[in-house]
Amino acid sequence: MDKIYKKIADELNIRESQVEAAVKLIDEGNTIPFIARYRKEATGNLSDEVLRNLEERLKYLRNLEARKEEIIRLIDEQGKLTDELTIKIAGTMVLSELEDIYRPFRPKKRTRATIAKEKGLEPLSQIIYLQKEKRDINEVAKEYIDKEKGVETVEDAIDGALDIIAENIADDADYRKKIKSFDFREAVIKTKQAKEETSPYEMYYDYSESILRMPSHRILAINRGEKEKFLKVKLETPDEKILNYLEKQIILDHKSQFASLLERTIQDSYKRLIAPSIEREIRNDLTEKAEEKAIKVFGKNAKQLLMQPPIKDIVVMGFDPAYRTGCKIAVIDKTGKVLATTTVYPTEPQNDVEGAKKVLKELINKYDVNMISIGNGTASRESEIFVSDMLKEIDKEVYYAIVSEAGASVYSASKLASEEYPDINVSLRGAISIARRLQDPLSELVKIDPKSIGVGQYQHDVDQKRLNESITGVVEDAVNSVGVDVNTATPSLLSYVSGINGTIAKNIVKYRDEHGELKERKELLKVSKLGPTAYKQCAGFIRIFGGKNPLEVTAVHPESYDVARELLTKLGYSVDDILEKEKLNELREVLKTVNVEKMSTELGVGPLTLKDIIEEISKPGRDPRESMPKPILRSDVLKFEDLAEGMVLNGTVRNVIDFGAFVDIGVKYDGLVHISEMSERYVKNPSEIVSVGDIVKVKVIKIDNEKHKVSLSMKV
């Protein structure tokens, strides 16, 4: 276990004591959000992101240790386990290298080598490989002729022996490790056109690049092109260098009678056995690393999207654009309740612009709509122009914003949507989702499969199990960092709270429906299947507004209530004061003067925990999303034809990928800021500079009217 702690500590650049504490807490069944928020003293303030990486590596290394034990047992059962082999297995920290060590002992299908062994040629293979025999090898080989076993000539005997040597060379873990290192340094991926068709992969129709420098998005693009049969992919490796290396390792004397036989065998082993399998392994390694990067990018983008600030206390009109079937409209009040739904036809083929304006103006006036939320899918551009023109004819200030409608159609047809809106047509549910995404993005987006929320690259190509695990963690971290109002939250939102699963989430809503609003956190213990363990994990992330305990609008955990009360008493205040504006303003100033180290000793609590308590009391009910960039609100529209090189605009970052970021500048097509145009300094990763939802100032540097592409620069 110490070895695992050290390995993780080195990889994550943290102390072994931090790793040990975190592992202990994980093994006790604590969730990552709970550990990150309420066990800072134990872990030395490790973030949720570091803790998730730690947990992932812990699983990998524990699985590795289990596999080591299994391999030692399997080799021992064959009677081939040595002390040297045991030490070598114990010291391996990479699964692929471990499997290479086990390779010679793995049960094989019938191969040329196993057939040769059945013919009794293994001793001859040893004579040739050791290169010590002074007699003519042909004379030696005669002793192994056995017509009953199919060894009819000297050549048959020698060829069979060489087949055994070829397989032994191919199975040697040290050789394989060295060959892989040659390939990773010098191999080049070459791609060619596989069929006479245009495709998104045309840049790869005659392409080559060193695998050492190949970015993950190109690896995944080539994989997809190969899978779709548009590309042929080959790994060009430093074969001559590898063959020279093997010859130096194996041939003792180039003038001996064995030299030419072993040269031939080395070439056969490499070309027939080693090169194809190592090419597969390298392609798999490259894909695995590229997928890991893509999953991380997707997770980062998803978190930024989930953490978009809510626009509170407004009546929103959701506008789901379409052509033939009409634009679906839904009006929701300040709490998200549906007030009205309808369908209008301002787009082709009906083009009923005036009729649509009349209907929408009536809804805006009747329900005092403040904001229109327009989905960014099909017919979005035409719908935006229509809305912009309509708003010029209204005597009150109404703005619109473009929101991502990714996953809205999936949600509309889901079981969850039919439970929420059983009496509303499936086609209108998308408009409700689009409206609520502007009002509270997090609460709405948790209802959708995270893979469908439309950020990142190649999320449908990567390992889906790993993607789901990663994205579930991202959503959990987002939900728990914001906190959840237990009296208004949907089961979808509650199910991501630390310690609460889907069944418990439904039971909470059922309890709420039967008994009315919860007045204090400990009432959760009356909910079916929510016991003391789940309560400890979830309580701090639950918010109860207007309840019995003012501390329950904050993230102060019940285990710290006494500390919080004692702190306030020492400062001359009470818990009730945190909800009175004037008292709270006074209290904030007093809290700024607290000596955390000294006070933590007096209260018998860790300084990190006390610091968190002070922050929470200072800002009761605080929503961390309030500090995030607000969406751009528009009242007029910019046409693609209006763009000109040199124009400077404000835009919203919609997606961040390996080579740059796509920015919505208010025209139909998002513009691309290439990584080279993000800053005057060298940028290694676009996410160092921007995140999804950021508002950025950009300059138009190139317009491709034919392909409707806009190149942007942030070097304004």
Residue 496: partners with Cβ closer than 8 Å, 6 or more residues away = 446, 472, 475, 476, 479, 480
Residue 148, exposed/middle/buried by CB under 10 A (0-12, 13-18, 19+)?
exposed
Q: Tell me how long the chain is.
A: 716
CA dist 178 and 176 (Å) reads: 5
Confidence at residue 637, expressed as pLDDT on a 0 to 100 scale: 57
What number of helices (H) and strands (E) belong to the chain? 30, 15
CA separation, residue 399 to residues 192, 439, 577, 637 (Å): 50, 14, 38, 11
Q: CB–CB of 441/692 below 8 Å?
A: no
Decide if pLDDT at 456 tops 70.
no
Contacts of range 290-294, beta carbons closer than 8 Å, 24 or more positions apart: 290/216, 290/217, 290/219, 290/220, 290/223, 291/216, 291/220, 291/461, 291/462, 291/463, 291/466, 292/466, 293/216, 293/658, 294/216, 294/217, 294/220, 294/456, 294/457, 294/458, 294/459, 294/461, 294/462
CATH superfamily of 316-439: YqgF/RNase H-like domain (3.30.420.140)
Q: Angle formed by the axes of helices 464-482 and 275-306, to 10°?
A: 20
Confidence at residue 427, expressed as pLDDT on a 0 to 100 scale: 86
Confidence at residue 660, expressed as pLDDT on a 0 to 100 scale: 87
pLDDT tens digit string along 142-167?
999 999 999 999 999 999 999 999 99
What are the φ and ψ backbone dihedral angles of 105, each rounded to 5 degrees?
Answer: -100, -5
Confidence at residue 606, expressed as pLDDT on a 0 to 100 scale: 94
Q: CB–CB of 311/630 below 8 Å?
A: yes
Which residues lie across from 702 on neighbouring strands? 711
**Which helix (H) or strand (E) covers residue 188, if one does?**
strand 188-193
CA dist 42 and 507 (Å) reads: 33
Decide if pLDDT at 418 tops 70.
yes
Q: DSSP H helical segments within 269-324, as ranges?
A: 275-306
Output the furthest CA–CA distance in the chain (Å, rounded): 107
CA separation, residue 593 to residues 406, 568, 616 (Å): 47, 13, 16
Decide if pLDDT at 398 tops 80.
yes
Reference 377, options 339, 304, 333, 320; nearest CA is 320
Question: Could you tell me the pTM of the whole model?
Answer: 0.82
Mean pLDDT of 442-446: 87
Q: CB–CB of 451/471 below 8 Å?
A: yes
Domain 2-75 architecture: Orthogonal Bundle (1.10)
pLDDT tens digit string along 78-115?
999 999 999 999 999 999 999 999 999 998 888 999 99
Please, what sign has the CA dihedral across residues 27, 29, 33, 36? negative
CATH superfamily of 640-713: Nucleic acid-binding proteins (2.40.50.140)
Mean pLDDT of 508-529: 95
What average pLDDT does the structure give for the chain?
90
Decide if pLDDT at 612 tops 60.
yes
CA dist 206 and 208 (Å) reads: 7
The residue ranking higher by pLDDT, 713 or 377, is 713
Reference 457, options 654, 714, 286; nearest CA is 654
Q: Prior bond to 349 cis, omega within 30? A: yes
Confidence at residue 127, expressed as pLDDT on a 0 to 100 scale: 95
CATH class label, 509-627: mainly alpha
pLDDT bin (cut points 50, 70, 90) of residue 458 is confident
Q: Any idea where the domains of the chain sit in the sequence?
A: 2-75, 316-439, 509-627, 640-713
Q: Which two tokens stand for residue 659?
A: 């080579």
b/e code 473-488 from CB counts within 10 Å (16+ = b): bbbbbbbbbbbbbbbe
CA separation, residue 642 to residues 479, 568, 639, 654, 668 (Å): 41, 59, 5, 21, 12
